[in-house]
Amino acid sequence: MTPANDLVEQAMRAVPRSPFLPPDQRHHAHVDAPVPIGHGQTNSQPYTVATMLTLLDVRAGQRVLDLGAGSGWTTALLAQLVGQSGQVIGVERQAELIEPARRALAEAGTGPHAEIRAASPGVLGAPKDGPFDRILVSAEADQLPPSLVEQLADGAVMVIPVASTMLRVTRDGDEVATTEHGAFRFVPLVEDA
């Protein structure tokens, strides 16, 4: 097992899923399946989250964008991985999910280095806060969004499902490389709302 897998497992033990689920869904917290959180959104399957975080290879002190923060669970996991010296910005389009996610994030004790924001209309990600060392996208794009690639720092990594395939995207200067890592299903990424 790689060190990233060990770190991800430690983060998942440190940040339980249950507080990030609606009260009537918390009994499903230990099921390895997506759980509905309302408004057509889900809290992703733990296996999928672990796979994405391992591919992302987050390091302490990094700046991370969590696009499609949903319930806030991935934002909290990323905060655990970056530690107090890092920063995580979660962005969510579903306004009704933001306050419950913020409450759960605060209760998880992530501190001031992790936050969840409402997505800006017509903006994908958080370009004014970039570039980022890591970008996690928890919604499926039809194609790799150039605006997100532009938010990657030199040497950065993005993990994003594109057309049902999990991609690991790396940026080295002007060079962008992608590798494929299996088939996954996600809610659609809203790019222009």
Nearest 5°: the CA angle 126, 59, 26 is 75
pLDDT(103) > 90 = yes
Residue 44 appears among annotated catalytic residues: yes
Considering the candidates 44, 71, 85, 147, report the single residue annotated as catalytic: 44
Res. 112 pLDDT band, cuts 50 70 90: confident
143 or 193, greater pLDDT: 143
Contacts of 78 (CB under 8 A, 6+ apart): 53, 58, 64, 66, 88, 114, 134, 136
27-49: pLDDT as tens digits = 999 998 888 888 888 889 999 99
What is d(CA 20, CA 14) in angstroms, rounded to the nearest whole number? Answer: 13
What is d(CA 51, CA 98) in angstroms, rounded to the nearest whole number? Answer: 24
pLDDT(152) > 60 = yes
